[in-house]
Structure 1
Amino acid sequence: MEDQETKIRNALIAPRKPLPPHQRKWKMGTTSFMLIMHIGAVFALLPRFWSIQGVFVLLLLYWATVIGVTLGLHRLVAHRSFLTPKPVERLLVLMGALACQSGPIQWVGLHRHHHKFSDQPNDHHDAGRGLWWSHSEWMLHDIPALQELDRFAGDLQADPFYRWLDRWFLLLQLPLAILVYWYGELSDVHGGGLGLILWAIPLRLVLVYHVTWLVNSATHAFGYRNFDCPDLSRNCWWVAILSFGEGWHNNHHAYPYSARHGLRWFEFDITWQHVKILKKLGLAKRIREATYPG
């Protein structure tokens, strides 16, 4: 006799109905942007644009962007796993907006929607539609979840800062480009300012994109489960390393409110370490933390 988890899994991986005609059309703006960023990332890796400074800029901005997403947009804003002073929250959200994964209202609203309908047919990156769909194809098409942002992110829509950033998040790349170009030209690095821009923007964005997308795809397909959640979430160690702890995804779906995702002794969670640093500095309070029952 099938256990309950097997029944749930079989229901979640059951064949999905084809997308309705209006959803099959490609969103040309998003698709073109992603194509340009991937081409720019390939150019960044050409020998003429290689430099130690480029690697340093990439690593620094990768840390800032991923922490902005995981600590700021995800654990702080989407789930309110802890509280921090408003200037710190705004800084973390600005860092997250550097990821160019839409504005914070849309990011948070879609993430809350995902938790509500995880791996069900109305989940916008429903893993039941396959690895490619859950990884990135979903964002290249119209998704009904965008019509429910008032329901899932109404708290953010009431804040002028979030409304402004939701509209103008792409503009954050301009001062960043100017800054790294100025540094590259002033320091006469190999590849010049253009080389640093390629490492700081398209290469960084492509890396952050795929790492973030792996949380939607790989951690709903590969790894182990600590908890019998009614979805396909898994704990995937290599995604956890790349995403600063977001790969402990089954833990997160079991306890969405928890600021700590790595619950077992070997589940290292870099973002959780940042939460503890903020706490020591007096910048984080009312921290909600789940523990592993074993």
Structure 2
Amino acid sequence: MLAMHVGAVAALLPRFWSWQALVVLGALYWTTVLGVTLGLHRLAAHRSFQAPAWVERGLVLMGALACQSGPIEWVGLHRHHHKYSDQPNDHHDAARGLWWAHSDWMLHEIPALRHVERLTGDLQRDPFYRWLDRWFLLVQLPLAAALYGYGEWAGVHGGGLGLVLWGIPLRLVLVYHVTWLVNSATHALGYRNFDSPDLSRNCWWVAILSFGEGWHNNHHAFPHSARHGLRWFEIDITWLHIRLLQVLGLARRVRVARYRP
């Protein structure tokens, strides 16, 4: 984690700046955040819709680019969080403070890890999930090789190293903190549409950064809904991608909650 933050700072040095690096960052941010929100969260963790195996595996592979543990562990911890949200046995219980909920919880023993296997029986049966859960870090290697090779071949300012720094550590740090804001900021800032038994809130700016995950009170009220932004002004970019998959015939049995004031 420390190395990624150091690499992210290094990426911002003038010698590594280029328009190509900015495009790489934008494209990979979109890919990675969607992998987390659409693949790991709404599809794998909550089964809010169904998709062909190749679509699901592609989305989960995109989520593995986030380096937030393997998909089985990610899903298991998230399901555990929903069972005990903001209770003492919630591993990122926001009642313990924003810093704890944001990232400090990861620097301590996580008792919830003992329950991952019990909570992920559906994923444990899939060899692809088991393989990716063990080797998710390796996904960064071909990406780094491709970025470095293109940067050197195209003569990009900052070279291949510049593209690697923008495409991996800088991207990862941005995605880390955006994901962690869903655990911290949206349990403290914003408004509530529903009286859910936790501290979850709807926070518009987190929703923008996280492609719709910031409508967190809506999500905790209806965890299995594929749509998190339930009111007309609650823009949910991940939901728009699910609708696109529906139009293409790649998403079915989509579960959607409705807002009724």
Separation (CA, whole Å) in 2 of partners of 1:35 and 1:72: 27
**1:146 matched to 2:113:** yes
Alignment of 1:73-222 (within 5 A): 73-222=40-189
Match in the other structure for 1:41 = 8
Match in the other structure for 1:282 = 249
Name the SS for the 2:99 alignment partner. helix
Divergent runs of 4+, >3 A: none
Letter in 2 for 1:184: G
Fraction of identical pairs, as percent: 78
2:31 alignment partner, one of 64, 76, 80: 64
Query: What per-residue deviation string (whole Å, max 9, x for no partner) do you get for residues 173-224 of structure 1?
Result: 0000000001100110000000000000000000000000000000000000
Letter in 2 for 1:103: G
Query: What per-residue deviation string (whole Å, max 9, x for no partner) do you get for residues 38-63 of structure 1?
Result: 00000000000000000000000000
What is the deviation of 1:151? Answer: 1.6
Separation (CA, whole Å) in 1 of partners of 2:209 and 2:177: 10
**1:224 matched to 2:224:** no
What is the deviation of 1:226? Answer: 0.2
Higher radius of gyration, 1 or 2: 1
Structure 1 gaps of 5+ residues are 1-33
TM-score, structure 2 length as denominator? 0.99
Separation (CA, whole Å) in 2 of partners of 1:235 and 1:278: 25
Separation (CA, whole Å) in 2 of partners of 1:268 and 1:291: 14
Separation (CA, whole Å) in 2 of partners of 1:219 and 1:125: 12
Aligned length: 261
Match in the other structure for 1:25 = none
What is the deviation of 1:272? Answer: 0.2
What is the deviation of 1:154? Answer: 1.5
The two structures, once aligned, show a CA RMSD in angstroms of 0.4
Letter in 1 for 2:169: P
Name the SS for the 2:184 alignment partner. helix
Letter in 2 for 1:83: Q
Letter in 2 for 1:177: A
Match in the other structure for 1:10 = none
Separation (CA, whole Å) in 2 of partners of 1:241 and 1:132: 21
Letter in 2 for 1:156: L
Name the SS for the 2:163 alignment partner. helix
Separation (CA, whole Å) in 2 of partners of 1:282 and 1:105: 27
Separation (CA, whole Å) in 1 of partners of 2:25 and 2:230: 30
